[in-house]
């Protein structure tokens, strides 16, 4: 998968990094836009509607976390944080804000490029998920329309959260291993990021469970993975319509 026809927005207050990464991505075939602050990035985002955003967290005027939240209000495009700060609390905060991946500086371009390709590939593929639906008195999931409602109120899932929920729903009542989730939701390029399923499951539970501390839909199979447990067996519908 090359960069042809894909637009990338890079946001960083380091002009030298912007120039270097821009040149690298353009050589890989991407159409690249840049911004040196969160506010400038928001304007560029609305003007050009990029397919993927790469941003730093520490920036003037509007920090990266706020920028992610503003983007997530209107778009589910993949977002990669590229930061020199790699403590667990920084990573968790970034993912909680709505980022799909967290890459540390100094970065290795080929690894970053692989992650970009993987996120774009899965972002485009998830829009064509099989039309599996699930419904009970509390939760409704429609993979075809990509809508999830909780007690009748629509809730917003990031692209990664949606792919994770889809992977579990498509294997309802079956245990899906952490390795399988990494491959299915993030791609083989993320096979060493063993904490991603745990972090995202935590966020997903906060959005769909009646009580996230006592989950009923997403059960943990310790040391193995996770399992989606339908509360209404008749509410699960699989397959394409006739």
Where are any strands of DSSP class E within 50-196? 52-55, 79-83, 101-104, 133-135, 139-142, 147-150, 153-155, 176-177
- Residues 179, 169, 206, 84: is their CA dihedral positive or negative? positive
Q: Is the pLDDT of residue 241 over 90?
A: no
Q: Is the pLDDT of residue 92 over 60?
A: yes
- Beta bridge partners, 32, equal 8
In the listed set 92, 126, 160, which residue is the last one of a domain according to the structure?
Answer: 126
Determine the Cα–Cα distance for residues 112 and 8; give it in Å rounded to an integer: 13
Q: Is the pLDDT of residue 136 over 90?
A: yes
The pair of structure tokens assigned to 189 is 């390029």
- Are both 115 and 154 inside the same structural domain? no
- Are both 181 and 95 inside the same structural domain? no
Q: For residue range 190-237, what is the model confidence (pLDDT) as tens digits?
A: 777 777 888 889 989 999 999 999 999 999 999 899 999 999 888 887
Candidate from 13-22, 38-47, 119-128 with smallest mean pLDDT: 119-128
Indicate the pLDDT class of residue 13, thresholds 50, 70 and 90. Answer: very high
| DSSP for residue 213 | T
Most confidently modeled range among 27-36, 69-78, 81-90: 27-36
3-state secondary structure at position 166: helix
Residue 242 lies in a domain: no
CATH number at residue 58: 3.40.50.2300
pLDDT of residue 4: 64
CATH number at residue 164: 1.10.10.10
3-state secondary structure at position 172: coil
Q: For residue range 29-50, what is the model confidence (pLDDT) as tens digits?
A: 999 999 999 999 999 999 999 9
For the chain, what is the domain count? 2
């Amino acid at each position: 998968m090359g960069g042809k026809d894909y637009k990338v927005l890079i946001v960083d207050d380091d002009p030298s990094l912007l120039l270097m990464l821009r040149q690298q991505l353009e050589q890989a075939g991407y159409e690249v836009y840049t911004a040196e602050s969160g506010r400038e990035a928001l304007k560029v985002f609305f003007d050009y509607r990029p397919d993927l955003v790469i941003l730093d967290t520490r920036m003037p005027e509007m920090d990266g976390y706020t920028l992610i939240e503003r983007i997530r209000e209107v778009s589910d495009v993949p977002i990669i944080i590229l930061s020199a700060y790699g403590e667990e609390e920084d990573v968790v905060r970034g993912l909680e804000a709505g980022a799909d991946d967290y890459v540390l500086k100094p970065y290795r371009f080929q690894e970053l490029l692989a992650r970009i390709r993987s996120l774009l590939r899965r972002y485009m593929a998830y829009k064509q998920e099989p039309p599996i639906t699930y419904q009970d008195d509390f939760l409704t999931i429609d993979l075809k329309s990509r809508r999830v409602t909780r007690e009748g109120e629509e809730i917003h899932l990031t692209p990664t959260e949606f792919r994770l929920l889809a992977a579990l729903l498509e294997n309802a009542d079956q245990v899906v291993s952490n390795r399988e989730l990494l491959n299915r939701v993030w791609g083989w390029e993320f096979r060493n990021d063993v904490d991603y399923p745990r972090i995202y499951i935590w966020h997903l539970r906060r959005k769909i469970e009646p009580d996230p501390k006592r989950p009923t839909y997403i059960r943990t199979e310790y040391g193995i993975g996770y399992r989606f447990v339908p509360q209404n067996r008749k509410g699960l519908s699989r397959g394409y319509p006739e």
